Amino acid sequence: MPLGSAALAGTTYPIERARTAELLGFECICNNSLDGVSDRDFAIEFLSAASIIMMHLSRFSEELILWSSAQFDFIELPDSFCTGSSIMPQKKNPDVPELVRGKNRPCVW
């Protein structure tokens, strides 16, 4: 997008954009000057990918919490990922999965 897109949404200065593009070797001009000089799609794409990853981490953390509960006892998380309960010393609280699950909300909402 050569000359004529200005800083944001075009210019009122009478410029022959197609001729300028031709002289500079561009294939064509950009019809939307905002897209040509101020594209922010990368931010939306990053936020979309981050929210999808966080949703997967949240679901996985929920499964770890459920599988390590006394009702299922399917897995046992290492002590480095858990803390004890102040009332029930034999209980292991899965702190890391709970923190990961809790950090999901700001990213998704």
42-99: per-residue pLDDT in tens? 889 999 999 999 999 999 999 999 999 989 999 999 999 999 888 998 888 999 999 9
The reported pLDDT for the residue numbered 105 is: 79
Q: Look at residue 2 in the predicted model and tell me its pLDDT.
A: 56
pLDDT score at 12: 76
pTM (whole model) above 0.75: no
Q: Rounded CA gap, 32 and 45, in Å?
A: 20
Nearest to 105 by CA among 45, 58, 35: 58
One-letter amino acid for residue 20 of the chain: T
What pLDDT is attached to residue 109? Answer: 67
In the prediction, which pLDDT does 6 show? Answer: 64
Tell me, what's the pLDDT at 82?
92
Select from 31, 40, 26, 27 the least CA-distant residue to 10: 31
